[in-house]
Amino acid sequence: MTVSDPRPQDQIIDEVRRNREQIFRASGGSIDELFAALKIAESKESRPMVKLPSRPVREHGSDAA
């Protein structure tokens, strides 16, 4: 018995998932290798990288905004 996905098909999401799988397989199926490959690609990028300032950590349940 095959269980079908109740969600409607979305071509964009399907394409993103196919690309994600292709990139992951190209890195040998290892998250560590994938991360290393992404870091290399990042270092070759000519555009400036955006560095956002870190945000303060809030206590769980804190009312502070």
Given a contact cutoff of 8 angstroms between Cβ atoms, the answer to whether 24 and 34 are in contact is yes
Render pLDDT for 2-60 as a digit per residue (tens, 0 to 9).
Answer: 667 777 788 999 999 999 899 889 888 899 998 998 899 889 989 888 889 999 988 87
The pTM of this model reads: 0.48
For the chain, the domains span: 11-44
Given a contact cutoff of 8 angstroms between Cβ atoms, the answer to whether 8 and 14 are in contact is no
Residue 63 has pLDDT above 80, yes or no: no
Residue 65 has pLDDT above 70, yes or no: no
pLDDT at 11: 92
pLDDT at 23: 87
pLDDT at 18: 94
The whole-angstrom separation of Cα 55 and Cα 65 is 11
Q: Cα torsion at 16, 20, 22, 24 (round to 10°)?
A: 180
